[in-house]
C-alpha cells in the first residue's frame, strides 16, 4: 500500500500565515503556519473555540480562508475554484466527528463514495464504479475490520464501526493528506484507541500526513508523532509529545484548575 517512491506527487502540506475572520477585524485564525510531509501523525490540540476545526475546514476548503497559502502536494489550493478546486479536494481525505455517512447506503457504497470525485456525475448518480474501485473498496473494508458488514446499512452500525467506514472512505480517495476532526469524541476509550491506531497505521502504510484534531491530550501524546497546540487562533506549541509540559498545557488551555 505504500505510495512512497512513486515520484508523482509529494505527500505534504504547507500552511503559511493562514488567517480566517468571519467578521472583519475579528480573526479566528491569526497567521497559522506549519509544514508536514510523509508518514507523520500530527495531533492538533486546544480548547473549544480555539480555531482547530476552522483550520481544517480552511485546508479542505469547506470554508474560505481570509488570507494565507495552503499548499497540498505542491499545489496552492487557497485560490482555487470550480473544477480545479473539485480536483484538488480529491486529494484531501476527511474523517468527520459525526461520521457524515449516507445512512441508507451500505458499507461498501459508503466507502465507494470516496471515488465520487474521480467519475462523471452521471456515473456517480447511477453508482457505476470501475471494478478496480470496487475491489479496492472490499480490500479496505477488510483492512478496517468490517469484512462481515460490507452489505449492512450504515445506520445499523455502532459508532466505532461507522468511524471505520469513514476512515476507509477517506483512504479510498487515495489522498495526499488525511484530516480527522475529533474522530474519537463520541467513542468509548477502547474504541478510541483502536481508531487512533488505525489512523496512524494508514499514515505509515500510505506514507501520508495524518492531521488529527483531538481533545484527549493523553491520546494525542500516545499516538501522535508531533503535536501543535492552538490557543485563541495562534500556535503556542509545536513539537514532539515528549516535550509537551504542564506549562505548555496551561498556555494552550489557560488556567490551572483543570490540571488538578
Lowest mean pLDDT, pick from 40-54, 108-122, 235-249: 108-122
pLDDT class for 2, splitting at 50, 70, 90? Answer: very low
Which residue, 39, 30, 21, is CA-closest to 211?
39
**Chain mean pLDDT for the chain:** 91
Residue 111 in this model has a pLDDT that exceeds 70: yes
pLDDT of residue 68: 96
| Structure-block grid coordinates of residue 248 | 505548555
pLDDT class for 30, splitting at 50, 70, 90? Answer: very high
pLDDT of residue 159: 94
Ramachandran angles phi, psi of 72, nearest 5°? -110, 120
The b/e string for 240-258 (b: 16+ C-beta within 10 A; e otherwise) is ebeebeeebbeebbeeeee
Question: What integer is the mean pLDDT of 199-222?
Answer: 95
Give the class (CATH, top level) of 9-91+175-254: alpha beta
pLDDT class for 119, splitting at 50, 70, 90? Answer: confident
Q: Any residues with CB less than 8 A from the CB of 60 and at least 6 apart, and which? A: 89, 92, 94, 179
Contact 213, 53 (CB under 8 A): yes
Question: What integer is the mean pLDDT of 195-218?
Answer: 96
pLDDT of residue 256: 62
What 8-state DSSP symbol labels residue 206?
A: H
Which residue, 215, 252, 225, is CA-closest to 53?
215
Residue 259 in this model has a pLDDT that exceeds 90: no
Which residue, 177, 252, 176, is CA-closest to 214?
252
Q: What is the pTM of this model?
A: 0.91
Sheet bearing 92-95, strands edge to edge: 92-95, 177-181, 210-213, 41-45, 226-231, 234-239
Each domain of the chain, given as residue ranges in start order, spans: 9-91+175-254, 96-163
CA–CA distance, 78 with 130 (Å, rounded to integer): 31
pLDDT of residue 196: 97
| Structure-block grid coordinates of residue 138 | 472490499
Question: What integer is the mean pLDDT of 72-78?
Answer: 92
Amino acid at each position: 500500500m505504500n505510495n512512497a517512491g512513486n515520484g508523482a506527487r509529494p505527500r505534504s502540506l504547507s500552511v503559511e500565515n493562514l488567517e480566517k475572520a468571519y467578521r472583519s477585524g475579528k480573526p479566528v485564525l491569526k497567521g497559522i503556519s506549519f509544514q508536514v510531509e510523509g508518514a507523520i501523525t500530527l495531533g492538533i490540540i486546544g480548547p473549544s473555540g480555539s480555531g482547530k476545526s476552522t483550520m481544517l475546514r480552511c485546508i479542505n476548503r469547506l470554508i474560505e480562508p481570509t488570507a494565507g497559502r495552503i499548499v497540498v502536494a505542491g499545489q496552492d489550493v487557497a485560490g482555487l475554484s470550480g473544477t480545479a478546486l473539485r480536483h484538488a479536494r480529491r486529494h484531501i481525505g476527511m474523517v468527520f466527528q459525526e461520521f457524515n455517512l449516507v445512512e441508507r447506503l451500505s458499507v461498501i457504497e459508503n466507502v465507494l463514495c470516496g471515488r465520487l470525485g474521480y467519475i462523471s456525475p452521471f456515473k456517480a448518480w447511477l453508482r457505476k464504479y470501475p471494478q478496480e474501485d470496487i475491489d479496492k473498496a472490499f480490500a479496505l473494508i477488510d483492512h478496517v475490520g468490517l469484512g462481515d458488514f460490507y452489505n449492512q446499512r450504515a445506520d445499523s452500525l455502532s459508532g466505532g464501526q461507522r468511524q471505520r467506514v469513514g476512515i476507509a472512505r477517506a483512504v479510498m480517495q487515495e489522498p495526499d493528506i488525511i484530516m480527522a476532526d475529533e474522530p474519537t469524541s463520541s467513542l468509548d476509550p477502547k474504541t478510541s484507541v483502536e481508531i487512533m491506531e488505525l489512523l496512524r497505521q494508514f499514515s505509515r502504510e500510505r506514507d501520508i500526513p495524518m492531521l488529527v484534531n483531538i481533545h484527549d491530550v493523553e491520546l494525542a501524546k500516545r499516538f501522535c508523532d508531533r503535536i501543535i497546540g492552538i490557543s485563541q487562533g495562534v500556535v503556542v506549541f509545536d513539537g514532539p509529545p515528549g516535550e509537551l509540559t504542564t506549562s505548555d498545557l496551561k498556555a494552550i488551555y489557560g488556567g490551572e484548575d483543570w490540571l488538578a
